Amino acid sequence: MHPPKLIFCLISSVLSLISLKAQDPGVREYEDRRQTEPSGVGSTGAIAKSAAVINSMDVLDDSQPIESGDLISIRIVEDRREPLQLRVGATGEVNAPHIGLVKATGKTCRKLAYEVKRRLELNYYNSATVVVAIDLKRQDDPNARVRTSGYDIDFFTVYGQVIRQGKYELPVDEDITISQAILRAGGFAQFAFPQKVKLVRKTPQGNKTVVVNLDEIMRRGNLEYDIYIRSNDVIIVDEKKINF
């Protein structure tokens, strides 16, 4: 291709893209939203994670108690990873790295850090350095939607071959899929049968049971089978049958 012809093609392509953006309201809407979206409050990913700049447990705050709806960050220094930012749920718990649910409300950052440290050192670390910080108080965050009445709290339950059977709070600000529910329960136990996980749901017509192949979802990435959990759903993970 001759150079003049190549330059002409490039110019034509650029003009076509500009024309497409001008004609497509979806493109303009997306660009406008990106430009007008506020930084910081309103997007938890944009809020600075205070735990990222602290490296010693000695300087953690020990005066202000954590409350439901607060946005906090937790970092395990030995993991060498970015802090995990978590919303404290209506039950007062957060899903801490490696150990799962831990009560946060009523504790200061220092007390919560030492509680997580104690539990980590039972099974995972010889010595753990845990950093906890409050990034945003609920009253300062317009996106903190936490139920205040105990009767309004939604739960799902996981039984069978998982690491931590039990009742789990269904978050108010995000949708949870069945694979994520299994991860919140610590993952599958050694003899779990992930190919036939049962989801039991109450309906006006009675209980309905759906069998889900979690192996297809969690190992092969077929996310179209990863159905959403609803309030009062029960997940049952059966034991794998072993023939000798």
Averaged pLDDT score across all residues of the chain: 77
| Mean pLDDT confidence for 212-222 | 88
Q: How high is the pLDDT of residue 178?
A: 93
Is 10's pLDDT higher than 90? no
Per DSSP, 188 falls in state B
Domain that holds residue 52: 46-140
Is the domain of 127 the same as that of 177?
no
Higher pLDDT, 129 or 89: 129
Is the domain of 136 the same as that of 201?
no
For residue 55, CA distances in Å to 65, 95, 110 come to 21, 21, 13
For residue 176, the tally of other CB atoms under 10 A from its CB is: 18
The CATH number of the domain where 203 resides is what? 3.10.560.10
Is 118's pLDDT higher than 50? yes
Whether pTM exceeds 0.75: no
Structural domain ending residue among the three candidates 101, 121, 140: 140
- Residue 15 banded pLDDT, cuts 50, 70, 90: low
The count of structural domains within the chain is 2
Q: How high is the pLDDT of residue 113?
A: 95
| Mean pLDDT confidence for 183-208 | 90
231: which residues sit within 8 A by CB, 6+ positions away? 154, 155, 156, 170
Is 37's pLDDT higher than 70? no
Identify the H or E element spanning 7. helix 3-23
